[in-house]
Structure 1
Amino acid sequence: MAAVVGTQELRPQVLPALAVAVCYYAGARLGLLRQVVVENVVVMPIWPPTGVAMAALLVCGLRCWPGITVGALLAVLAVNAPGPDLIGTVAGNTIAPVCALLMLRRVGFRTDLSRLRDGLALVFLAALLAMLVSAVVGSSMLLLTDRLAAPGYWRVCLAWWVGDAMGVLLVTPVLLLPYQARWPPRLGRWREALALALAVCCVVPLAVYSAIGLLFLVYPLLIWSALRFRVAGSTLCALFMSVLVTVAATDYVGSFKGLTPVEVLLKLHAFNGTVALTALLLSAVITEQRNTRRSVEQACQELVEVLENLTMGDAVGRRFTSSARNAGRTSAGPSAGPGAERSPPAQDGG
């Protein structure tokens, strides 16, 4: 039965695969809006298609892998002309999220990100480890086809790897939100969410485009969103912050003014990685603690109910025993005391 289920899961379906291909290509077009050139190779600081592919595999399973392949093919063709490296690059972009899914399943990953272990698995297995496949394969194909010089191999590979990892860390949690959101939220939460959104829209652009280095101002807002809105609030804030910082970095303004492309990438990746890790892991810890507290409260409530039932049962048992004793005494009649008079024996007539 296990073999049959695995075979059915691997069988592609047209509509899900087509939807994944369209979403993958749309994410690629968004990612291509902001580019950085490293060693004459165009790299993207954030590559959203990896997040799209990861979310699609987590929701639909392995049957949507052809959509990832088609989307990756269209995305590569949008950047480069067809060449010998095309097949290797597309294969790497397909194999990387599939390997990530298999590893996440191995550790019992949950898409609601309600445990710290889920956040750590998404970070270290899906983003950092699995995305090495696409980065190494893609950079190696560029090297083998003489489109990349050997001295710049590791720089391009690192930039490729971090861009794919940022796509998983920033985009995948946001795409998984519709499957864990609770509707409708309370009115009080809407008011606080509106206040948080206004604060983010006012503070983040000021911190990003300031030339005196005020990027640290975004972290209190990120902590606020994680404490009050957990995964939903923190991941949305992290994505918004990273997008604004990426725009400023690729325009070489604000804190990135006067930096070289390599320095821009290092500073940008450090900020995006810190924001993504803070949002994901902090919200996962808070969610896990709240779930644990609710489980303990529920267990205590159930224990109180059990003790109350036991107490009521003991009281009923004592009453039943007392009633039985009283009934026994009544049926036996009153006992004769030492000074009681005895009735004379009956005499026969005649």
Structure 2
Amino acid sequence: MTVARREWLGRRGVAVLKICAVAALYYGSATAGLIQQLVRSQVTPLWPPTGIALASLLLLGPWVWPGITLGAFLANVSLGPSIPAVLAITAGNTLAPVCSYWLLRRAGFRKEMDRLRDALALIFLGAFTGMLVSATTGTGTLALAGGLSAGAFWPTWSVWWTGDAMGVLVVAPVLLVLRSAHWPKNAAPSRWAEGLLLVVATACVGLVEAGPAPLLFLGFPLLIWAAFRFQLAGAAPCALAVSTFAIIAATHRTGPFAGHDLLTNMITLQAFNGSASLTALLLAAAVTERNETRKEIERACTQLAEMVARIAAGEYRATGPHGEGEKDENGGARRPA
């Protein structure tokens, strides 16, 4: 076997392993998402696989779509009313993140999400627009298969769409952050203490959200704090934690979700999760863009100061300390170079 053939087989083997890893992550996150189901067995208020699928396409490339298809099929095969219905739902679950990926690429999306336009693109193109495909395909398939009544179509569609969109808004940014995450080497002890305090405060808010008092709004100061001080690296995990706590409270009908019907709880939950995600992403992107602009201004000012200093030094050498031209060795005036 030639070296080129071995290298080709090695690359193929790595690609197959990555596709299998995407399928495993999709299936595992789908199983976790179905634990918090509120409407039917396929419709949840937060569908993490959509965020994993879109992040996989952005980080690895569009060639990993078979992993999304395989994971979606395994997740739905035990839930669908029939194999044709499962295949249709799987196709919608695959096409939705692929469409989102294509729209983001067309919009010039950067995986670092260090610009406000990147956050807006992820929200309106990746989440709200791309996930229309999966929600429409899945709900329509269930209706045609007899799994939904005519009056339940639009409520199920809305929950399906918002659940898929929330998966993109909440899960995908965390995975994109993990891509470039690194252990800070020169971080001050106070910085570590602040990060630990943020984690503890987020956990305490989760306990409060699960209590009897309707105190969901306590999560927003944490999101603002995380975005301003840690940008996307802090805001994305904080938004994921706050949304997860809210979903758990809604599932168990505690806190602000106690004593209300399903429709009211779904509206409250999705409005809160959407507001939390939008606040975290937009504020973190705006702060990051502001910091980068400030650094560019500082670099430009430093370069300008160095240039002025070199020009001034050159004039000083040319005119002498008293404004007179330098003398040559015979006492004559030397022309500046």
Alignment counterpart, residue 204 of structure 2, candidates 199, 202, 205: 202
1:296 aligns with 2:293: no
- How far apart, CA to CA, are the structure 2 residues paired with 1:170 and 1:125? 15
Q: CA deviation at 1:42?
A: 4.4
Consecutive unaligned residues of structure 2, counting only runs of 5 or more, are: 1-13
- How far apart, CA to CA, are the structure 1 residues paired with 2:89 and 2:330? 92
Q: CA deviation at 1:189?
A: 1.7
Consecutive unaligned residues of structure 1, counting only runs of 5 or more, are: 1-11, 331-350
Aligned partner of 1:74 in structure 2 is 74
Q: CA deviation at 1:324?
A: 4.4
Checking the alignment, whether the CA contact within 8 Å between 2:210 and 2:245 is kept in structure 1 is no
Aligned partner of 1:193 in structure 2 is 195
Checking the alignment, whether the CA contact within 8 Å between 1:84 and 1:145 is kept in structure 2 is no
| One-letter identity of the residue aligned with 1:317 | A
| One-letter identity of the residue aligned with 1:22 | A
- How far apart, CA to CA, are the structure 1 residues paired with 2:78 and 2:284? 36
Aligned partner of 2:35 in structure 1 is 33
> For 1:176, what is the secondary structure of its paired residue?
helix
Checking the alignment, whether the CA contact within 8 Å between 2:96 and 2:131 is kept in structure 1 is yes
Q: CA deviation at 1:180?
A: 2.4
| One-letter identity of the residue aligned with 2:49 | P
Aligned partner of 2:98 in structure 1 is 98
- How far apart, CA to CA, are the structure 2 residues paired with 1:184 and 1:214? 34
1:140 aligns with 2:126: no
Checking the alignment, whether the CA contact within 8 Å between 2:210 and 2:248 is kept in structure 1 is no
1:56 aligns with 2:56: yes
- How far apart, CA to CA, are the structure 2 residues paired with 1:168 and 1:307? 49
Checking the alignment, whether the CA contact within 8 Å between 1:36 and 1:42 is kept in structure 2 is no
Checking the alignment, whether the CA contact within 8 Å between 2:77 and 2:83 is kept in structure 1 is no
1:22 aligns with 2:24: yes
Aligned partner of 1:214 in structure 2 is 215
1:44 aligns with 2:44: yes
1:150 aligns with 2:153: no
* Segments ≥4 residues shifted beyond 6 Å: none
- How far apart, CA to CA, are the structure 1 residues paired with 2:173 and 2:288? 14
Checking the alignment, whether the CA contact within 8 Å between 1:41 and 1:156 is kept in structure 2 is no
Aligned partner of 2:268 in structure 1 is 267
| One-letter identity of the residue aligned with 1:101 | Y
What's the C-alpha RMSD, in Å, of the aligned pairs?
1.9
Aligned partner of 1:338 in structure 2 is none
1:278 aligns with 2:307: no
> For 1:56, what is the secondary structure of its paired residue?
helix
**What is the correspondence of 1:91-130 to structure 2 with a 5 Å cutoff?**
91-130=91-130
TM-score of the pair, normalised by structure 1: 0.86
**How many corresponding residue pairs?**
316
Deviation sequence 1:169-200 (CA, Å, 0-9, x none): 00001111122224225133211111111122
Q: 1:81 to 1:141 in 2, by over 3 A?
A: closer
Checking the alignment, whether the CA contact within 8 Å between 1:204 and 1:217 is kept in structure 2 is no
Q: 1:322 to 1:31 in 2, by over 3 A?
A: same
Q: CA deviation at 1:211?
A: 2.9
Percent of residue pairs identical:
45
